[in-house]
Chain A
Amino acid sequence: MPSKKRGPESRLIKFLRGVKTAIGEIWRETPGKVGLFLLIFLVALAVLAAVSITPEFLREWESTSLWEDNPIVVPPCWINKLGFKTPQTAQIYIYTPSIVSTNATRKQANYTYTYTYTLDTNTPPQDIYIKVKAPLLCENETLRNPLLLISIERPDGLVVIPWRIPLSIGNVTTCGALLPEQKTTKELFDISGVVTSLMTHYNISLPLELIGENKTYQTYATAILRSAIKSELENRYMTILSLFVYPEYASITLNRDTSDLEAIRKSILNLNDTISSLTNISETYKIRIINSLTLAYNNLTWLIENINTVTYTDYLNTLYNVSGELANAQKWATLAKLPADIRNTIGDVVGKVQKLIEAAIMTDKVVKPVLRFNTLQGDYRINVTLTYVIREAPESISAVVGIIVKGGCYGLLGTADKGIDLAKVILYGTPIALAIGLVTATTSVFIGVFAGIISGYYGGFIDEFIQRTVDILGNIPFLPVMIIIGSIAQTMFAGPMKSLYIILLYMVILIVFGWGGLAITVRAMTLSIKEEPYIEAARALGASNRRIIFKHIFPQVLMYATASLVFSVPNAILTEAGLSVLGIRHGWPTWGSVLASARAENRFDVWWWIFPPGIMISLTSLTFVLLGLAIERIVEPRLRTL
């Protein structure tokens, strides 16, 4: 008999030794080895995640604000090493200015923060913005808020100043306190300034042989070209991305379509005929009107015949002449008191000509801009300058400048919609998955073992009751019931603990349905163990039922139960993921939730969104399947004695 002093300690050592031998046995075969490796990997991930996870992340991992600085639905950055080309992502926070220049006499202090972004792809990044938190400075009781000025030195040598924003004081009144964060937006972007810079730098000028000598008309054409460039940048490059492009080709052509002109000419001809046939008007007026109409007609004819060679100046001059002659005709027609319908017709024609002129001046109807933009590759020096109007400026200020360039790739596993960092979510999914799986499996195996032993050992009514319960549970379709209960749970719980309660409910249902199979096997094992002579001997020695169960039956069932436990760990993980994918969400960052969002957005075409979470689920399952196989091999000889 072992002495009582060594009791608990020796039991612990014995248990540990048992565990050690068991692991050694598992290690001996390949599946066990792979399983143990995977288990260590998963546990390491889970520990890493569990240490760094915060309750806020659990609650807000799907909110847009948490991920606003990330590019949206982009692949991981390591694909660049495989030969793909995506623009880089930069999320740079700068705390110290690279240049400080203070000038007491000019009452000015500039703090410049610099970052160089390299663009080496044909596509521009998704977005760029700068976030600034600058302090409020004071001088002689006056509050000084800075002017934020961003200038970008492009690889082509052009320096553009897209943003010039005075930082608002808000309700800050303390000197040295940080002002509310200012973000550069599309609305504040100086697109006109950028267009001007581009046009000067790239010498975008008009082909004079097409425009002609008239300076006014040249201004018109320039304005048309300018607004075409602007709207191209606004629409195709979402305003802000114009920082990354240059006009590869920008010029104009003239629209040589004559259909409108011919329509007007035909109306004039008709008018001419109508007026010529009038008899009851004064000849003088008639001749004058006809003269004007003829001149207008001749001008138009000249324009139509020479349309392929005329310049913009010729076009406009001719139309002005036509318009002038028609106006004359209209004047004489009024004096001659021509019938109202004829006068209206002349008025219509005048209106049409004026519309043509207007269109030629204001729109790209005649002057057709031809534009081709291209991405400008190279180094972009981004200078963020905070300018204070202050005489005695401090050497340094406590400003934070964030430069965010949303590129075409992100991190280790890329991003999903809302810019969700998949690596982070998948990392944090590990401890949740393991916890759900292990707790559910342990509890249901525990219940199964004891229900089985009790059922087999005591027999009778208890046995019948347990077996019938198992039978009925086994006939209820599990997944459909689970889905109903899951969707009931979504409306049943509320409040900050909702997600936890839903997951706990899943686990309870899984346990309720999970113990039956094991209970049947354990019952069968118990029935045969019960008949062994040593049990009879123990009973004859006066051992209590409890002692027999715990000392003689339970240890024999234990190893088999362990295998069953390990095998059933993936059940809960797969069920949780499956329910999430169906759209029955609990709100926690699990692997299933990531797949669910891919499904909800219908983005099965995005491999980095659907592959990693599925691989993690499969890997976790595989870990336990392999370990289960290994343990089963150890158990098998004993199983065969049954």
Chain B
Amino acid sequence: MPRAEIVILRRGIILAVSFVIIVIVIAAIVEGSGYSMKIYEALVREAVNAEIMALRRGGNISEIYITQLRENLTKYYQKVYGLIDDQGNIIPPYMRMWNLAWRTLKFDFGKTGTYSVANIVPTVPPVDVLYVIASVLPRTIAVVTVGELIAALLGVKLGPRIAYRHGSLIDKFVVTYAALMNAVPLWWLAMVFIYIFSYRLNWFPRNLRAVAPAFANFWANPLQNLISILYYITLPLMVFLIWVLGGWLYGFRAMLLRVIREDFVMAAKARGIPEGDITKKYVLRPSLAPVLTSIILALAGSIGGMIITESIFDWPGMGTLYYEAITAPDPVVIMALMVVYVLVYLAARFILEILYIVIDPRVRAR
């Protein structure tokens, strides 16, 4: 049996290799397919045309000069956007793909020049991609991660009680509720809530983009900003919580149902130990690993935000950032976001590997 450190090291290496492979795969999708090349070519054309238009407006310039200038400008911008190398040769997509993968692996994300992307912060381009992500991330954490955490804790708290009452009315209700929430798409539920609470009842604002300043300058006036954030956040947080809670309740119920049928739980019950103590000592303890796994992976996944739902609410978080980056389109931001998603997820898995050893005596003993 290998020692714990070696196990962790081995898992770490596998995850690191996965990371490299995934970055290459994503680079292949973004660059290898010619997707971003098309975008950059359009950007070059646009920039060159804009400069020449400005020049033409300035006065009478000979056409020969303009043709010459257009050629030079095109070369210049192609180099800026990395379409040609120093010798003026076109860089083929597969080379660009490796370049992008290499830069990404060095965590060199660069700057974005897209207005709609910078607008989420809100600021004006060019702006560091990492700065954009860092300003947007708290807003997603406030809704998705917090929502996920609240729902998970509720699940831990209520899950055992539901599992004990297997087959009762409340159990049936939870199963129905979970099945319903599993069937209803979150983004549609968001539309329904917007219709009811924003349009019909007029309780909540319709434009949630306006929450951005309250996050950006939070420490300038914490109390007032907190109230402002609460005003904007209630609707998306409520929708998300209602939707995600079904899954957590059902998941924990199923997980614990398996445990409470074990002999040692039966024995504890036979000894007349109160339900609360059974839960703490005999039920939650052995299911700690799967419970922690699902919570940590869910929290890691929540960093990415809810792309569709955030864009429905126009909530200026990670999801909307991704949406704007796709519609712009802005390959730099798309790539950076992808890396953040993958990295956070892999990091969470690595943390779990360590946690398994810490919490599970059987693994520790190996």
Known: A477-B342, A491-B38. A610 touches B195 (CB 8 A): yes
Q: Does B180 contact A (CB under 8 A)?
A: yes
Interface-facing stretch out of A185-193, A520-528, A599-607 = A599-607
Interface-facing stretch out of B181-189, B210-218, B276-284 = B181-189
- Set A480, A485, A488, A620: member contacting B338, Cβ < 8 A: A480
Residues of A within 8 A of B304 (CB): 477, 480
Q: Does B52 contact A (CB under 8 A)?
A: no
Q: CA–CA, A629 to B182, complex, Å?
A: 12
Q: Does A284 contact B (CB under 8 A)?
A: no
A604/B191 in contact, CB under 8 A: yes
Q: CA–CA, A301 to B307, complex, Å?
A: 75
Q: CA–CA, A621 to B188, complex, Å?
A: 13
Q: For the complex formed, measure the closest distance between the CB of B145 and the CB atoms of chain A, giving whole angstroms.
A: 16
- Set B182, B192, B308: member contacting A581, Cβ < 8 A: B308
Q: Does B179 contact A (CB under 8 A)?
A: yes
Q: How large is the interface on B (under 10, 10 to 19, 20 to 34, 35 or more residues)?
A: 35 or more
A578/B308 in contact, CB under 8 A: yes
B29/A481 in contact, CB under 8 A: yes
Q: Mark B193-208, 1 if CB is under 8 A from A, else 0.
A: 0110011000000000
Q: Mark A603-628, 1 if CB is under 8 A from B, else 0.
A: 01101001100100111111001100
Question: Which residue of chain A has the shortest Cβ distance to B195 in the bound complex?
Answer: A604
B307/A604 in contact, CB under 8 A: no
Q: Mark A556-593, 1 if CB is under 8 A from B, else 0.
A: 00000000000000100010011001111000000000
A475/B22 in contact, CB under 8 A: yes
Q: Does B174 contact A (CB under 8 A)?
A: no
Q: CA–CA, A484 to B21, complex, Å?
A: 18
Q: CA–CA, A607 to B182, complex, Å?
A: 22
A581/B25 in contact, CB under 8 A: no
Residues of B within 8 A of A471 (CB): 14, 18
Q: Does B334 contact A (CB under 8 A)?
A: yes
- Set A483, A577, A626: member contacting B185, Cβ < 8 A: A577
B312/A581 in contact, CB under 8 A: yes
B342/A610 in contact, CB under 8 A: no
A483/B182 in contact, CB under 8 A: no
A607/B323 in contact, CB under 8 A: no
Q: Mark B1-34, 1 if CB is under 8 A from A, else 0.
A: 0000000000000100011011001100110010
Q: CA–CA, A27 to B158, complex, Å?
A: 31
Q: For the complex formed, measure the closest distance between the CB of A413 and the CB atoms of chain B, giving whole angstroms.
A: 16
Question: Which residue of chain A has the shortest Cβ distance to B344 in the bound complex?
Answer: A477
- Set A582, A619, A622: member contacting B179, Cβ < 8 A: A622
Q: CA–CA, A481 to B25, complex, Å?
A: 10
Q: Mark B30-59, 1 if CB is under 8 A from A, else 0.
A: 100101001000000000000000000000
Q: Which chain B residues in 294-338 approach chain A with CB under 8 Å?
A: 304, 307-308, 311-312, 322-323, 326-327, 329, 334, 337-338
- Quick one: which of B38, B198, B304, B308 has the most chain A CB within 10 A? B308
A476/B22 in contact, CB under 8 A: yes
Q: Does B341 contact A (CB under 8 A)?
A: yes
Q: CA–CA, A584 to B349, complex, Å?
A: 32
Known: A487-B326, A610-B195, A614-B191. A476 touches B342 (CB 8 A): yes
Q: Does A31 contact B (CB under 8 A)?
A: yes
Q: Does A300 contact B (CB under 8 A)?
A: no
Q: Mark B102-144, 1 if CB is under 8 A from A, else 0.
A: 0000000000000000000000000000000000000000000
B346/A483 in contact, CB under 8 A: no
- Set A483, A577, A621, A622: member contacting B326, Cβ < 8 A: A483
Q: Does B345 contact A (CB under 8 A)?
A: yes
- Quick one: which of A472, A476, A583, A607 has the most chain B CB within 10 A? A476
Q: CA–CA, A624 to B270, complex, Å?
A: 40
B192/A485 in contact, CB under 8 A: no
Known: A475-B346, A484-B30, A484-B35. A621 touches B183 (CB 8 A): yes
Question: Which residue of chain A has the shortest Cβ distance to B198 in the bound complex?
Answer: A604
- Set A472, A626, A629: member contacting B22, Cβ < 8 A: A472
Question: Which residue of chain A has the shortest Cβ distance to B184 in the bound complex?
Answer: A618
Question: Which residue of chain B has the shortest Cβ distance to A30 in the bound complex?
Answer: B172
B185/A582 in contact, CB under 8 A: no
Q: For the complex formed, measure the closest distance between the CB of A152 and the CB atoms of chain B, giving whole angstroms.
A: 38
Q: CA–CA, A570 to B199, complex, Å?
A: 30
Residues of A within 8 A of B188 (CB): 595, 610, 614, 617-618
Q: Which chain A residues in 290-332 approach chain B with CB under 8 Å?
A: none
Q: CA–CA, A475 to B307, complex, Å?
A: 18
- Set B180, B312, B323: member contacting A622, Cβ < 8 A: B180
Apart from A604-B195, A619-B183, what are 12 other A-B pairs with CB-CB below 8 Å? A471-B14, A475-B18, A477-B341, A481-B26, A487-B327, A582-B311, A599-B191, A604-B198, A605-B195, A614-B188, A621-B185, A625-B179
Q: Which 8 A-B pairs have the closest CB atoms?
A: A621-B183, A622-B183, A614-B188, A605-B199, A477-B341, A618-B184, A488-B35, A578-B308
Interface, chain A (partner B; CB < 8 A): 31, 471-472, 475-477, 479-481, 483-485, 487-488, 491, 570, 574, 577-578, 581-584, 595, 598-599, 604-605, 607, 610-611, 614, 617-622, 625-626, 629
Contacts A/B (CB < 8 Å), 16 sampled: A477-B338, A479-B308, A480-B338, A481-B29, A485-B29, A488-B29, A488-B33, A582-B307, A582-B326, A604-B191, A604-B194, A604-B195, A610-B191, A610-B195, A614-B192, A618-B183
